[in-house]
Copies of this chain bind each other. A is one copy, B any other.
Amino acid sequence: MSPSAKSDRRFEFRLDLHSGVPVYRQIIDHVLGGISTGSLKPGDQLPTVRQLAVDLAINPNTVVRAYRELEIREVLTTQQGTGTFITDKKPRVNEVERQRRVAQLAGELLARAGAEGITLQELLDYFTELQNEPNRRT
């Protein structure tokens, strides 16, 4: 249907209402995650405040809160009357620092997952599934 130019597929949001994690927080994480996986690129437009509120069956104010926080972090920019877009990426830090950070993040994940009896393999399975079907629905 939509003959869009940039990203044909819409960026799909998913919420877990039973997780205990605040909804606005889930939206933030989802956008950041989208950047990490590459399904969101600089210049991409995000769903409008009202549209996302309808899709997720939540209050527009909650979407606003998430978007605003991301804007403060310079992850996205808003243009009143137009929409909300992913910012051009900031310059990366040096490679050594970067690699150290990767190891740190990975280590933290494994520690927490391990404490809950979740294996690396399970996580890897999830990630690869994400790569194959980036916008999958539950």
**Interface residue ranges, A against B (CB under 8 Å):** 14, 16, 18-22, 25-26, 28-38, 73, 75, 89-90, 92, 98, 100-124, 126-128, 130-131, 138
Contact = CB atoms under 8 A, between A and B. Distances in A.
Q: Is the interface of A mostly helix, strand, loop or mixed?
A: helix
B115 A75 contact: yes
Contacts of A37: 110, 114-115, 117, 119-120
Contacts of A121: 38
Given A14-B111, A32-B111, A111-B32, A118 B98 contact: yes
A107 B108 CA distance: 13
Contacts of A118: 33, 36, 98, 101-102, 105
